[in-house]
Amino acid sequence: MTLADQPHEWRPERFMVIAAHPDDADFGPAATAAKWIDAGSVGWLVCCTSGDAGGEDPNADPLELAALREHEQRAAAEVVGYAGVTFLHMPDGALANDLILREHLVREIRTFRPDAVLATDPQNLFPRDAGINHTDHRAAGFAAIDAVYPAARNPMAFPSLARAGLAAHKVRRLYMFWTNDPTVRVDISATVVRKLDALRAHASQIKDFDRIEGWTRESSGSLGKDIGVEAAEGFHLIIVDEDDEEPESA
């Protein structure tokens, strides 16, 4: 029995999920987020874009679609139990890990001060060798990593944020979701239903919910089998700072 065979039990006091699009967080780590929140953690969701290109009708109004998708994401976030959602309103389909996005993410991290950040694994270019991971998912993942280290913790990075009263902050752990290489598995047997309820809120994006439910139960069931539970979500965990380091004063 190795550690990877056991359900992952560590829980952050505060965590932030950084996602490219509305619905990513719910297809991603929603059940883990719900489990942690139920146990007393405080979670915050950041959506880099509002999903204004997430449709197939060339005559649709992107601003109307963005408003609808923000509404859907807020409803889903309520199901999961996040304390709040921030939309950065970056362009859907054209997200770039540039200084603008990174400064936004550093501002969010220094404001909310999470122990852990959950973001898409940007190294996952070909998910299970059966498709291509969306460019925005990769850009959001790289931007989240670069915001966590070194920018959020470096008081000399983005000095205008420090001048605005947002002190440097150390995020101790990164949990990369949608990874081809999960190193930890969280038991979500009790909250997989909340993930499904959150997904149901994204009606504009999901035409066949039964298919999504089947896929969600199958993929979480197969990750769960690895650790002997009904359902699990997998993450590639990066411990940026050991837990026993002296916590900084906020």
Question: Which positions lie near Zn ion, rule CB under 5 A?
Answer: 21, 24
Mapping DSSP onto H, E and C, the string for 21-82 reads CCCHHHHCCHHHHHHHHHCCCEEEEEEEECCCCCCCCCCCCHHHHHHHHHHHHHHHHHHHCC
User: Shortest distance, CB of residue 6 to Zn ion, whole angstroms?
Assistant: 30
Which of 21/172 has CB closer to Zn ion? 21
Which of 21/202 has CB closer to Zn ion? 21
Q: State the DSSP code for 239.
A: E
Is the CB of residue 141 less than 8 Å from the CB of residue 119?
yes
User: Shortest distance, CB of residue 49 to Zn ion, whole angstroms?
Assistant: 9
92/129 Cα distance (integer angstroms): 24
Is the CB of residue 89 less than 8 Å from the CB of residue 108?
no
200/109 Cα distance (integer angstroms): 28
57/230 Cα distance (integer angstroms): 39
User: Shortest distance, CB of residue 161 to Zn ion, whole angstroms?
Assistant: 27
Which of 25/31 has CB closer to Zn ion? 25
Q: Catalogue the E-assigned strands of the chain.
A: 14-19, 42-49, 84-90, 116-120, 173-177, 184-187, 232-239
Which of 24/115 has CB closer to Zn ion? 24
User: Shortest distance, CB of residue 55 to Zn ion, whole angstroms?
Assistant: 13
User: Shortest distance, CB of residue 131 to Zn ion, whole angstroms?
Assistant: 13
Q: State the DSSP code for 248.
A: P
What is the three-class DSSP state of 103? helix
Comparing every residue's Cβ against Zn ion, the nearest one is 21
User: Shortest distance, CB of residue 136 to Zn ion, whole angstroms?
Assistant: 6
